Structure 1
Amino acid sequence: MDAVMLVGGQGTRLRPLTMSAPKPMLPVAGVPVTAHMLARARDAGIDRVVLATSYRAEVFEEYFGDGSAHGLQLEYVTETEPMGTGGAIRNVAERLHGGPGDPVVIFNGDILAGLDIQALVARHTGTGAAVTLHLTRVVDPRAFGVVPVDDDGRVTAFLEKTPDPPTNLINAGCYVFRRSVIDTIPTGRPVSVERETFPGLLAAGTAVMGYPDDTYWLDLGTPAAFVQGSRDLVTGRMASPALPGPVGDCLVLPGAVVAADAKIGGGATVGAGAWVGAGAAIDGAVLFDGAVVEAGAVVRDSVIGRDAVIGSGVALDGVVIGDGVRIERGNELRSGARVFPGVVLSAGAVRFSSDRT
């Protein structure tokens, strides 16, 4: 079965982390989020995936190659201009092998989901739908476009953000298309499946089905969600066959050096070649490869970029530190602060910050 993974987004909400890599290639619990979702696709019986790339397209093929090491056949199609979700799907149509009536699974590459992909496909083929959408329930749907369905599961509307939504079901970013529907998406211009393709199918009376699902789902688009997703993978709340180690209270990758009295927990990840000094505490944080946390520093719910250095006694809570940053001793940053690559914070320069540096 063919699948398409949409991995072309720049991930501006995750800057500065995405200045050196696309969001779907950032390491979440030790490997790119794309690797987690490709492994789930493989285990669901999908054998061939076309990656629809754009921003920093080369890093995907450098990491995954032809896919054989991951039990898949992978191909890559690079979008030179942003064409929207529908345009990106249409752009890979010539690489799909299935016939007009065959199902094609479409994934957003920056979402973690525990969805039963086989059940979604079975729902699609069993109802004869043109498109079937994975739908998830959220506590407060006012921040999302919602997707109401009737008693038979047929989608009745696609509604933009509203103060009084009629349902808490939202589009979860995974679909099954009948191949022939992909071929009808216009070429040569941006197309949104959410605003054009799906509403157009409804207007034409074509069957679009919903698959409501209550399993794990998380959009990794913000730093807080990125940390949460990594933590959930490490602790096993979200299962992944691509997790590079056992489920537990922390994940320490090969080559990392952790002092005997350092405290690592809360689902934290310590990347390959990282170094954690004596008396340091890493709680729920993500340390990318080569990051250094010196003696006595405390890092909570934060992301520390590659080769960044966190000095002795530094306190970080809920912040994002870019690649190669150096934060000298005595600094304290909290509550959404972001430090961009190349910055050096001298000793004691910041006691508290929620700004970008």
Structure 2
Amino acid sequence: MSAGPTGPDESAALHGVEAVVLVGGLGTRLRPLTLSAPKPMLPTAGVPFLTHLLSRIRAAGITHVVLGTSYRSEVFAEHFGDGSALGLELEYVVEQEPLDTAGAIRNVAGRLREQDIVVCNGDILSGVDLPGLVRTHRDHSADATLHLVKVDDPRRFGCVPTDSDGRVTAFLEKTDDPPVDQINAGCYVFRRPVIEAIPADRPVSVERETFPGLLDSGARLQGHVDAAYWLDLGTPAAFVRGSADLVRGVVPSEALPAGGSEALVLDGAHVAQGAAVTAGSTVGPGCAVEQGAEVTGSVLFAHAHVEAGAVVERSVIGAGARVGAGAVVRGGVIGDGAVVGGGCELLDGARVWPGVELPAGGVRFSHDC
């Protein structure tokens, strides 16, 4: 479901706000997909994932965005240019050495103009109400405001307790007995002087150094807690789930038509009669899905080929890759140009690296190939 255009109150709330999007990570947990493109540029529901985030930022009324880049930095500028196609003014700052989250934020400080800065991690799929986040920040005259989400199992994350007024009281590392179920969701609003006070030219952790230091100094850190959709796309399983949720309309994106659908079949793709493409799957341009094949909750990059009777479930099939007749891929990642021979079975967690050809004949794989 699309968030829709902003109303008058939202536009007023976002006057004097700009955004920073951090897209410098290596995406190692998503390899081999990220060998050919940075994680935020992977095709997600038909477009690079970053397009969904930038479109939501623009829909919220923010027009100036600075991208903090590092790995394959040139790819972002080549695709998005000056941002005008999205109604944005985009600037790029390249991180020469890893600076961690706060260090990367400090690295773009010279391009900032406004007093309130929305900062987003470029690998988080979220339905957060950005105007609402900014209003929380301003209503409490906060130095920094954190989007916090409630999760079923906070033990896997650091948790962030708040008092009755929503003020952050601590940052707690992973624990078997977390006192609250709310965690840092990777989206913030900073006053610009707070960013400028972060040490420059060295790695700085926002959770281990910046936020605890602000608390110790008596600064106001505010929590904005909601039940919005939230997903870290850092693993293949999360990536395919996020793409499917975008296609089905579970999470809003201004880059897609409202309402959602069972499948997104892009221009130049061919799905044969008798093939089934369901559960939010994306079939990229130039792809072919042959008769009797089943593609469920999966992503097929450009020119991938799924042969007759093959089953692809919760998986990513890389550009130009081929899944042979009768093969089964469940929870797998097939790298660009790889071939899964007919009759093979790849189970959850299996990854086939680019260009590798697995022989036909019913071989079962459950590891990297």
When the two structures are superposed, what TM-score results if normalisation uses the length of structure 2?
A: 0.94
Aligned partners of 1:350 and 1:20: how far apart in 2? 27
> Residue 146 of structure 1 aligns to a residue in which SS?
coil
Deviations 1:137-180 (A, max 9, x none): 01010110000000000000000001111101100000000011
Letter in 1 for 2:128: L
- Alpha-carbon deviation of 1:97? 1.4
| Equivalent residue runs for 1:193-342 within 5 Å | 193-243=206-256, 247-342=260-355
> Residue 342 of structure 1 aligns to a residue in which SS?
coil
- Alpha-carbon deviation of 1:295? 1.1
> Residue 181 of structure 1 aligns to a residue in which SS?
helix
Aligned partners of 1:33 and 1:284: how far apart in 2? 17
Contact 1:83–1:190 (8 Å) recurs in 2:
yes
Contact 1:31–1:244 (8 Å) recurs in 2:
no
Tell me whether 1:71 sits opposite 2:87 in the alignment: yes
Contact 2:215–2:221 (8 Å) recurs in 1:
yes
Contact 1:31–1:243 (8 Å) recurs in 2:
no
Aligned partners of 1:282 and 1:349: how far apart in 2? 19
Structure 1 stretches (4+) deviating beyond 3 angstroms? Answer: none
Letter in 2 for 1:79: E
Equivalent residue for 1:354? 366
Tell me whether 1:148 sits opposite 2:161 in the alignment: yes
- Alpha-carbon deviation of 1:63? 1.0
Unaligned stretches of 5+ in structure 2?
1-16
For residue 34 of structure 2, the aligned residue among 18, 23, 39 is 18
| Equivalent residue runs for 1:99-138 within 5 Å | 102-138=115-151
Aligned partners of 2:87 and 2:201: how far apart in 1? 33
When the two structures are superposed, what TM-score results if normalisation uses the length of structure 1?
A: 0.97
- Alpha-carbon deviation of 1:255? 0.9
Equivalent residue for 2:175? 162
Letter in 1 for 2:135: A
Aligned partners of 1:152 and 1:93: how far apart in 2? 30
Deviations 1:98-155 (A, max 9, x none): 2xxx110000000000000000001101111000000000101011000000000000
Equivalent residue for 2:73? 57
Aligned partners of 1:233 and 1:172: how far apart in 2? 19
For residue 57 of structure 2, the aligned residue among 26, 37, 41 is 41
Aligned partners of 1:264 and 1:142: how far apart in 2? 36
Letter in 2 for 1:340: W
Contact 1:50–1:75 (8 Å) recurs in 2:
yes
- Alpha-carbon deviation of 1:243? 2.1
* RMSD across aligned positions (CA): 1.0
Contact 1:255–1:273 (8 Å) recurs in 2:
yes
The total of aligned residue pairs comes to 353
> Residue 159 of structure 2 aligns to a residue in which SS?
coil
> Residue 68 of structure 2 aligns to a residue in which SS?
strand
Letter in 1 for 2:342: R
Letter in 1 for 2:366: S
Equivalent residue for 2:185? 172
Letter in 2 for 1:315: V
> Residue 267 of structure 2 aligns to a residue in which SS?
coil
Contact 1:131–1:178 (8 Å) recurs in 2:
yes
> Residue 106 of structure 1 aligns to a residue in which SS?
strand
Contact 1:113–1:216 (8 Å) recurs in 2:
yes
